[in-house]
Amino acid sequence: MARVDLDGNPIRPLTICMIGAGGFIGSHLCEKLMSETPHKVLALDVYNDKIRHLLDPEDLPWNGRIQFHRINIKHDSRLEGLIKMSDLTINLAAICTPADYNTRPLDTIYSNFIDALPVVKYCSENNKRLIHFSTCEVYGKTIGCFLPKDSPLRQDPDYYVLKEDSSPCIFGPIEKQRWSYACAKQLIERLIYAEGAENGLEFTIVRPFNWIGPRMDFIPGIDGPSEGVPRVLACFSNALLRREQLKLVDGGQSQRTFVYIKDAIEAVLLMIENPTRANGHIFNVGNPNNEVTVRQLAEMMTEIYVKVSGEPALEVPTVDISSKEFYGEGYDDSDKRIPDMTIINKQLGWNPKTSLWDLLDSTLTYQHKTYAEAIKKTMTKAFAS
Ligand code: UDP
């Protein structure tokens, strides 16, 4: 049966130039495109470890539909040619780990703004559609967090739900370099929007709200640097695997909504295959029903990991740590992130399905299967030497 879009029109096979295809989101998107669609992917990245299973052996059923190009978009003259060859460009390339925002602010700004400029320019000049990955961090802090602690308005969704077309972007002062990322992302969003308004660029902007799942970031000392600090899912997984305490930054009071990567990828596929519904829009993609504090996340992950690993939890599973000690000078935090879902619902009929418990269960099962042995080995070695 021919595949059809949301309006019943047949979907024609596309060639997609995916920049940053070797990362967490790219790897899941490539998997989905290979197994469920006829589209071709030109996969651009500096690494391909997370998509190697899709590239070889040569006799995979989608052989030839995915092609890896080892390219750093900072300086490679092949970029424009690859964008020209494609119907659609998806830009996922970026530094997006908070530990880098205040410690490597220049790299953060260059990677999220300067390096994205040629991509936007080539799409605009060659009349190619662009799906650009931004972040929920462009909202910054909620209005509600500036109200007095006991104000009843803090309970009013008008003061905290984040809406694409009406919420302001509220960042901290310049010396809080945490916001270098959000600010760079905001400016590239504005530039893309302006290319749409002035030059007719067909664009879609995606604002992911804490997408999590297998292959996210890295486990320090196993498939990433020992001193590296990934995002919270990998930090907590690492601690659980090593039987160490989970560190709660400034008491773990910040709130997040987590969405399962596989649910979020469904939304991206709808955008890819429904250009008339997706073009010109900015979409929140998250799960407003999966809200927890970071402390609650730690407790839930600890409980699930006991079940997955068969090992009892530590007597005191968490420890508080100041943000200055954990991230260094210049860290600041988003207090709360609840995505408004009206626009994505109306345009694409998308809703997330997976509960926080279920998504942590499958993700921790994956983490345990993938890393437990390797961690045991490095720990025995360290003990013996
Ligand atoms: N966090 C924490 N312990 C960790 C790692 C992160 O308490 O080991 C906190 C961090 O301060 C933030 C939240 O967890 O409040 C989510 O952090 P993440 O790095 O996943 O990214 P963010 O959602 O801030 O973009």
Nearest Cα to 257, choosing from 212, 299, 288? 288
DSSP code for 12: P
Relative orientation angle of helices 24-36 and 261-273, to the nearest 10 degrees:
60
25 in Cβ contact with 92 (< 8 Å): yes
Average pLDDT, integer, range 159-171? 98
User: Which residue CA neighbors atom 21 of ligand 1 most closely?
Assistant: 231
DSSP string covering 195-208, please?
HHHHH---EEEEEE
Annotated catalytic residue, options 160, 181, 305, 371 = 181
End-to-end alpha-carbon separation of the chain, Å? 61
Average pLDDT, integer, range 5-33? 98
DSSP code for 11: P
Tokens of 43: 């996969």
Tokens of 293: 């504090």
Q: Is 159 assigned a catalytic role?
A: no
Q: Would you say residue 139 has pLDDT above 70?
A: yes
Residue 381 has a pLDDT of 80
Measured distance CA(100)–CA(96) in Å, rounded:
8
294 in Cβ contact with 256 (< 8 Å): yes
Total residues found in the chain within this entry: 385
Tokens of 287: 């799960």
pLDDT in tens, 269-328: 999 999 999 999 999 999 999 999 999 999 999 999 999 999 999 999 999 999 999 999
Mutate which of 231, 291, 318, 319 for ligand 1? The one with the most ligand atoms within 8 Å of its CB, which is 231
Percent of the chain that is helix, strand, coil (3-state, to 5)? 45, 15, 35
Q: Would you say residue 385 has pLDDT above 80?
A: no
pLDDT in tens, 360-371: 999 999 999 999
Q: Where are the alpha helices (DSSP H) in the chain?
A: 24-36, 52-55, 78-85, 98-101, 105-112, 117-125, 180-199, 232-241, 261-273, 275-278, 294-309, 323-327, 342-348, 356-384
Report in angstroms the alpha-carbon separations of 274 from 5, 6, 29, 254. Answer: 6, 7, 16, 35
Predicted confidence band of residue 1 (pLDDT cuts 50, 70, 90)? low
Q: Are β-strands 291-293 and 255-257 bridged in parallel, bridged antiparallel, or unpaired? A: antiparallel
Pocket lined around ligand 1, Cβ cut-off 6 Å: 98, 210, 231-232, 235, 247-249, 252, 254, 256, 294, 333-334
Distance 158 CA to ligand 1 centre (A): 25
Could you give the percent of the chain with pLDDT greater than 90? 95
Predicted confidence band of residue 2 (pLDDT cuts 50, 70, 90)? confident
Tokens of 194: 């302006």
Residue 56 has a pLDDT of 80
What structural domains and CATH numbers belong to the chain?
A: 94-376 (3.40.50.720)
Tokens of 200: 């007719």
Residue 382 has a pLDDT of 76
Q: Would you say residue 64 has pLDDT above 90?
A: no
Measured distance CA(329)–CA(327) in Å, rounded:
7
pLDDT in tens, 233-257: 999 999 999 999 999 999 999 999 9
Distance 246 CA to ligand 1 centre (A): 11
Predicted confidence band of residue 173 (pLDDT cuts 50, 70, 90)? very high
State the average pLDDT for the chain.
97
Distance 304 CA to ligand 1 centre (A): 19
The residue behind tokens 């999220």 is: 112
